[in-house]
Amino acid sequence: MWRRAIVFAALACSAATAAPEPPITIPTAQQIAELERARDKRPNNYERRDELALAYYRSARAALDRGEFPLYEKQLSQAMTEWIESLRLEPENPGPHIYMGMVSAYQGRIDDTLDSMYNARSLQPGNPAAYSNIAETLIYAGRDAREVETWLSRAEKLGSNPAVIDLNRCLLQWRDGNLDGAARSFRFARKLDPAVVEVWNEAPVATPIKTFTDLTAYCCGSPACGPYLERACQKSELEIAKREVPEETALRELRIEMERRRELERIYKERQDLEVRVKKPLEGTPEAAASQAPPAATEAPTEPEEKP
């Protein structure tokens, strides 16, 4: 079963058909250590590794926001390792693909995010979150509104949280210049389920989002949202937050990504019955060069269009 499957920005409740969960907080070092001990006691337990991966990632994101780049790199690598190990245990589980897609989106690789969302849908085609996640990703990728609506309609038919559908439509309408429609869809979403805007990209929202104006300000101020909706932010006369990391950190991210692809290829080579996309680096690209470079020292360990 999926837990709250948050990809980025407005996907905060894409798996909202699940039971309510405790508010998201950034884990302390002590809490991470406790999760590590629990993992060590039961290394072949999917839940233990999945919980630890998410804790690492939340902590990594917080470190990135603080500008603590070495800690961010270390914990991002640790999170990816745990998600990969989770998939070794349960290769048919869509959850790790959702979170890996979230990582790609925050790093500006929306095509890789879409691959991850398609993988999650292939692994669990009956889950409405699979379709709303894809719809959300397509909004950020700038795809045609009719394509987005096709995926949203499928999510609706499968019983998706209606607030999630309205929030996706809000972003789509805002992206395409329909501000009145976007504001109306936001009001519908928040009235149906206020929780859809209480959590954003696996992190708590510091300033409550109560209005459509709050939403646009938050999105444009987030590197996980604003750059993808640049025109909408410009029309709303809002400054767009740019993601800025040192070159060394960007290269480390690429190495982690290339290692992720290699490990996924190994896992799913043994499971030819599962339709999972694994993108390979191309010769002559920065990705390929990064994949061949020796890993940086740490303190510790466009695809064809799919149809619903």
Q: What are the DSSP calls for 146-202, one per residue?
A: HHHHHHHHHHHHTT--HHHHHHHHHHHHHHTT-HHHHHHHHHHHHHH-GGGGTEETT
> Is it the case that residue 42 has pLDDT exceeding 70?
yes
Residue at 58: amino acid letter: R
Report pLDDT digits (tens) over 110-160: 999 999 999 999 999 999 999 999 999 999 999 999 999 999 999 999 999
Q: Write b or e for each residue in 96-121: b if 16 or more Cβ atoms lie within 10 A of its Cβ, otherwise e.
A: bbbbbbbbbbbbebbebbbbbbbbbb
Report pLDDT digits (tens) over 297-306: 444 434 446 6
Q: Residue 281: what pLDDT?
A: 65
Q: How far apart are CA 262 and CA 282, in angstroms?
A: 13
Q: How far apart are CA 15 and CA 11, in angstroms?
A: 8
pTM of the model: 0.86
Q: What Å distances lie between residue 88 and 70, 109, 122, 268, CA to CA?
A: 27, 24, 17, 9
Average pLDDT, the chain: 86
Q: Which of 12-26, 175-189, 240-254 has the lowest mean pLDDT?
A: 12-26
Count other C-beta atoms under 10 Å from residue 34's C-beta.
14
Report pLDDT digits (tens) over 195-225: 888 876 666 677 889 999 999 999 999 888 9
Q: Residue 293: what pLDDT?
A: 56
Q: How far apart are CA 213 and CA 219, in angstroms?
A: 10
Cα atoms found within 13 Å of the Cα of residue 149, Cβ hemisphere only: 4
Q: Residue 308: what pLDDT?
A: 73
Q: What Å distances lie between residue 15 and 11, 107, 160, 179, 196, CA to CA?
A: 8, 22, 8, 26, 10
Cβ within 8 Å of residue 206, ≥6 positions away? none
What are the residue ranges spanned by the domains of the chain? Answer: 23-93+247-294, 161-199+206-245
Q: What Å distances lie between residue 275 and 50, 126, 147, 179, 195, CA to CA?
A: 22, 15, 22, 39, 33
Q: What is the mean pLDDT of residues 83-88?
A: 97
**Would you call 90 helix, strand, or coil by DSSP?**
coil
- C-alpha angle 138-143-147 in degrees, rounded to nearest 5: 80
> Is it the case that residue 104 has pLDDT exceeding 60?
yes
**Would you call 203 helix, strand, or coil by DSSP?**
strand
